[in-house]
Structure 1
Amino acid sequence: MTLAKLAATVEARRDADPEASWTAKLLAQGPEKCAEKFGEEAVEAIIEAVKGDTARLTSEAADVLYHLLVMCAARGVTLADIEAELTARETQSGLEEKRSR
């Protein structure tokens, strides 16, 4: 599944029944709960990265991407918005971008 397809699925589930869709349930709980869940998944990915378990890291990284998209959707930020930001940064080195903050 591509990120675009995953983002479209998240958006499509926005109005689904929270009893029938995990995504709808998360979104119904609000942006704060979505952010909390994203944080939990990010920590789990960090733990697997430190442990060196690549299979578990891969699984946790997929969870992180999913929960990132849900968290962003809860605040009205789309994958297209994120891609536009990344595109805007293409002409700037990472070091330059960090200095500009």
Structure 2
Amino acid sequence: MPAVVQDFQSREVLMVAYVNEESLNLSLEKRETVFYSRSRQELWHKGETSGNTQEIKEIYYDCDQDTILFMVDPAGPACHTGENSCFYRKIAEDTDLKAEKMMKMEQEAQQIETEFETEKVVDFLYDLILSRKQEMPEGSYTTYLFEEGIDKILKKVGEESAEVIIASKNEPEEELVYETADLVYHMLVLLVERGINPDQIRKELKKRHK
């Protein structure tokens, strides 16, 4: 069933996840949130990797008995982006502004689709990340990573590496492909941050196999 997580002090809604009987029992036992991943079909202890655990203060359930509410004292941000809450983006109330943004997004998507071939996607993505660092557009996750700095980027590389390891043990293979793509993206962010380009990696690999 869905589980809403709310800050015990501020009453801010932090995130929404899912629980099953086992994860709920573990949450009661640990007094920290433990959820059930529907995509991976396994339990996950919030903050086990990042350290951003959620100490449970109170637990409620709704009138239909099909949703859980955790009132927690969080040890850090709830969102994987580093935001305090997963609900940090607001739908534009101005219809014209919203339509303009949607049109711009569609145009950018069409431009991206025509600008790269599949075999060149890594180079294209590197150039896109590089442009994000130079322009720092507001609302971009890549911008957020650069604003947070090298420690945050390294933390994300570590987290995504762990996700690849976990996915390698699971079926189907689509999950491993998905997590590997996440890792490659964050590695490219790291390379941009350190001023290293993909050609340097290619040259190093070529040198090893001469």
TM-score, with length taken from structure 2: 0.41
**Bigger shift: residues 18-27 or 3-12:** 18-27
Is 1:56 aligned to 2:175, yes or no? yes
> What's the offset of the Cα at 1:18?
5.4
**How much has 1:22 moved relative to structure 2?**
0.9
**Match of residue 29 from structure 1:** 148
* Structure 2: runs of 5 or more not aligned: 1-117
- For residues 83 and 24 of structure 1, what CA distance do their matches in structure 2 show? 26
State the shift of 1:5 in Å: 0.8
2-side partners of 1:30 and 1:53: how far apart? 34
Structure 1 residue identity aligned to 2:197 = T
Name the CA distance, whole Å, in 1 between partners of 2:174 and 2:206.
Answer: 30
Looking at structure 2, the residues matched to 30 and 81 of structure 1 have their Cα atoms a distance apart, in angstroms, of 22
Higher strand share: 2
% identical equivalent positions: 33
The match for 2:139 is: 20
What's the secondary structure of 2:169's corresponding residue?
A: helix
Instruction: State the alpha-carbon separation in 1 of the partners of residues 149 and 193 from structure 2.
Output: 7
Does residue 5 of structure 1 match 2:99? no
- Please say which structure displays the higher CA radius of gyration: 2
Q: CA shift at 1:53, angstroms?
A: 2.9
One-letter amino acid matched to 1:70: V
Which residue of 31, 38, 54 corresponds with 2:157? 38
| Contact 1:15/1:24 (<8 A) preserved | no
Kept in 2: contact 1:37–1:67 (CA 8 A): yes
**1:49-96 superposed Cα distances (whole Å, 9 cap, x missing partner):** 0123311111000000000010121111111211121121122xxxxx
- As a proportion of its length, which structure holds more helix? 1
Instruction: Provide the rounded CA distance (Å) in 2 between the counterparts of 1:5 and 1:88.
Output: 24
- Separation of aligned partners in 2, 1:44 and 1:18: 28
**SS class of match (1:13):** helix
Q: CA RMSD in A?
A: 1.4
Check 1:58–1:22 CA distance in 2 against 1; reply closer, same or farther (3 A cut).
Answer: same
Instruction: Tell me the TM-score normalized by structure 1.
Output: 0.81
